[in-house]
Homo-oligomer: A and B are copies of this chain.
Amino acid sequence: MKGFASDNYASAHPDVLAAVAEANAGHAASYGADRWTARAEELLRQHFGEHAVGFLVFNGTAANVLCLRAMCRPWESVVCAAGAHIDVDEGGAPEHVAGVKLDAVAAPAGKLTPELVAARLGRRGDEHAVQPRVVSIAQSTEVGTCYSVDELSALADVAHEHDMLLHVDGARLSNAAAALGVPLRALASDAGVDAVSYGGTKNGLLLGEAVVLLRPQLAEGFVYLRKQTMQLASKSRFLAAQFIALLEGDLWRRNAAHANAMAARLAAALDGAAGVRIVERVEANGVFAVIPAAATRILQADWRFYVWDPPSGSVRWMCSWDTTAEEVDAFAAAVRQACASTPGPC
């Protein structure tokens, strides 16, 4: 049963699997002292900026926690949007493992603004309060929207003005870059971003993410943090080979652009549909909509997707690199039918 539950329900891209198989040849030094890891790190530098230092890790929560550990001293805190993955979907890892406090701010469209950040800085220098050090945003956001390059730069500016750093949870950074039609570095070094959690898994890998640090001083001692945070792979080549498959050519962008196109196709197919209200701008690979609860129940008998916000009844439909136009069209037809036949407000 396929569906629109999550881009991590998707399989790995065949080229990724082929790259893993190719790397599976004889012995290689462990813990990253192999040629695949060196190449993956070089590619991360090419894509993210000449000062970028990349580190491969296992999953997205770890990438985020490691970025926070690299950026924060124990008394420092992180301003993020309410509903951010680090705030609500990481099992308390930022607090428990990184030991930092999050300050989650209600943010329209899931996006922080310079004004929202500035409003959280009133207690700088007060020893009773944690001290804001990091602005953390998701690009694309958890609700499928994107920060423009200008919006990113403005956030970097406000962060740096206040001696803070800008972190990007880029679990879907490729989707944002594809949507905006820019290279990855436009959303990283060039925009003044300081650290990125760069997502591979949702972009077509078996598993694997990268921490990309854009200020050299953040990388000091980072290898110790990665090891202590349990993210140093012994057979590192198998993570690295996947990133090579993604970044050597433009697979990262093709996969992301396809997923984005499928979300746009779905949104277009539902335009004007009775009982369907799309509640966030469709800028990446997700569609967020409110439909009647009864329609949700009908649809979930045949299609996988999640109710996003139970109180409002909003649902999330995610597209991935392997979503097909046929699936989108069939699902859109099913949604139209279910909603049309279902009474109730949406």
Q: Which residues of A contact B (CB under 8 A)?
A: 1-3, 5-6, 8-12, 14, 17, 20-21, 24-31, 58-62, 65, 69, 73-75, 77, 88-93, 95-97, 99-101, 122, 127-131, 201-202, 206-207, 221, 223-235, 238-239, 304, 310, 322
Contacts and interface: CB of A to CB of B under 8 A. Distances in A.
Contacts of A206: 20, 24, 235, 238
23 contacts: A8-B235, A9-B27, A9-B30, A11-B27, A17-B24, A20-B206, A27-B304, A74-B224, A75-B91, A75-B96, A75-B221, A77-B92, A91-B130, A92-B100, A93-B229, A95-B96, A96-B101, A99-B99, A122-B310, A127-B232, A206-B235, A206-B238, A207-B235
Contacts of A8: 30, 234-235
Q: Which 6 A-B pairs have the closest CB atoms?
A: A75-B224, A91-B227, A8-B234, A91-B228, A62-B230, A127-B223
Contacts of A235: 8, 12, 201, 206-207
A24 B12 contact: yes
A145 to B, nearest CB: 21
A92 B72 CA distance: 13
B12 A128 contact: no
A130 B30 contact: no
B91 A99 contact: no
Number of copies: 4
Contacts of A101: 92, 95-96
A26 B11 contact: yes
Contact of A73 (B59, B65, B221): B221
B30 A207 contact: no
Contact of A27 (B2, B60, B129): B2
